[in-house]
Amino acid sequence: SKQDLFDTYLPAFEALVKEAKVESVMGAYNRVYGQPACASDLLTDILRNQWGFAGHFVSDCGALSDFHLHHKVTDTAPESAALAVKHSCDVNCGAVYLHILTAIQEGLLTEDDITPCVERLMATRMKLGMFDKDCPYDAIPYAVNDCAEHRAVAQEAARRSQVLLKNDGILPLDAKAKRRVAVIGPNADAIYQQLGDYTPPLREGAGVTVLNGLRAALQNSEIRFAEGCTVC
């Protein structure tokens, strides 16, 4: 319902746009009131006009090809490209925007339709210093992305994000006590599942699974692991 949309879903995004001043917003795959999320009137009416978002909007990967392949709201890739551009989707994570020239040739788009998207993207690149003689980001080595300081921040964020729903007195576990602990589930010893989708390749030895973490913390205990089932 509209009430659920405005009371439940949009407030967090509004706060990110107005208070956090995010530079980019990503659209989803689903449809909202019959319109694909990356070509929704919500982008222009609410995100741009009501909230005053001036940054760039990017589609989720493959979301624009969904227009003609799965949602069937368009028939061709040029039509999908035109629909997204006209709803202020600036960047396509995918290949649909390779058809923008065809969309222009077919009369589906004009250069005036594209200009606002290009201007927003160029503004972002300027903010990043990409056109400066000495871009500060060029001086940052790739290794900094996985430095000890960043790992410590990530670990602290992980600690603070955990929520204990119930404790019958068993926690905290006594590392010196001898006990038998059952660890059950296909994700208990799967490092990728601790991180989630869109995770880049990890350095060797990075990350700790639930099973290995318990084994390290409870060395006096007997840890038994059962996969239980597989993950599709």
* Alpha-carbon distance values, 151 to 38, 48, 109, 187, 221 (Å): 34, 36, 46, 22, 28
Query: Which member of 45, 60, 90, 113 is catalytic?
Result: 60
**Which residues are CB-neighbours of 41 under 8 A, at least 6 positions away?**
35, 87
Chain centre distance of CA 227 = 29
Quick one: angle between helices 77-86 and 111-127, nearest 10?
A: 70
Q: Is 26 helix (H, G, I), strand (E, B) or coil?
A: strand
Residue 174 CB: number of other CB atoms within 10 A?
12
* Residue 60 a catalytic site member: yes
Residues with catalytic roles:
60
